[in-house]
Amino acid sequence: MKLLKYQKLKLNEYKIITDKDEYKLYDDIIIKYELLLKKEIGEEEIKKIVEENNSLKAYYTALRLISVRLRTDRELNVLLNKKGYSNYEIDYAIKRLNKEDYLNHNTYIEAYIHDRLNLYVEGENKIATDLIKLGFKIEEVLPFLDKIDKQIFREKIEKYITKKVKSNRKSALEFKRKTLNELINKGFSKLDINEILDTFMISDDDLELEHLINKLYKKYSLKYDNKTTILKIKNYLYQKGYQSFLVEEHLKKLPESVNKSV
């Protein structure tokens, strides 16, 4: 196969024109195989060169990906696979990046935790779980989480509850139960959540309870007699965490004919 012409492309690529085909090769490959000094090249050699060039292309693609933001081995593997690179090419790219310290685990973990603390309402349990999903071992993650002042997480919990209380329309019990589950799902300590919840004076909203009873009465009274309607209202409200004495007080505010029939 005769080498006829070289054409400079963008960045560090060249187009190699032969008497049979054209190839896009990186200058690293051209220099390594001394292609500028050759006038001919064998079929097997060009095949080997193209394969090596493809691996190098995967490496440069991975470099561009981590220049946008830090990535883990696992993330790069998925992204390069989606771009159509073979397992061999992906393996070459990731091994080279690790060798050149572009995929430093400690740097990634530290940066990841910093972002989660500053940009999201998340506890250390979720941060640790997400890092493990990204391919890190818990032994790598814990030393960095242990450095964090735990008061930071408690302040996040308190701020979250304070915001939720302002818009709360649930019973005190249901509010606490729902808020506890939400914060646990966000990765915070159950012990910390309960301790901070107990510092808040959360009471049932009388106006909201009255509105809810009237709404339920209209709904159930269309299908049931008064006695069954009242029972269903009570069951619903007790399940929602409302205190029985409050429910009884508000039920008395229903039309007199309803209470007489109960």
Q: What is the pLDDT of residues 121-135, one digit of tens each?
A: 999 999 999 999 988
Please state, for a pLDDT cut of 70, what percent of the chain lies above it.
95
Q: How confident is the model at residue 255 (pLDDT cuts 50, 70, 90)?
A: low
Distance of alpha carbon 133 from the chain centroid:
10
Q: What is the pLDDT of residue 262?
A: 46
What integer best gives the mean pLDDT of the chain? 87
Query: Can you list the positions of beta strands (E) in 146-225?
Result: none
Task: Assign domain 105-146 to its CATH architecture.
Answer: Orthogonal Bundle (1.10)
Do the beta carbons of residue 117 and residue 182 sit within 8 Å? no
Judging by DSSP bridges, how do beta strands 22-26 and 13-18 pair with one another? antiparallel
Q: What is the pLDDT of residues 105-121, one digit of tens each?
A: 999 999 999 999 999 99
- The CA–CA distances, whole Å, from 47 to 87, 174, 231 equal 18, 68, 82
Task: Assign domain 3-99 to its CATH architecture.
Answer: Orthogonal Bundle (1.10)
Equal CATH topology for 3-99 and 105-146? yes
Radius of gyration of the chain (CA): 33
- Residue ranges of domains in the chain: 3-99, 105-146, 151-197, 206-260
- Choose the weakest-confidence range: 48-62, 99-113, 157-171, 186-200: 157-171
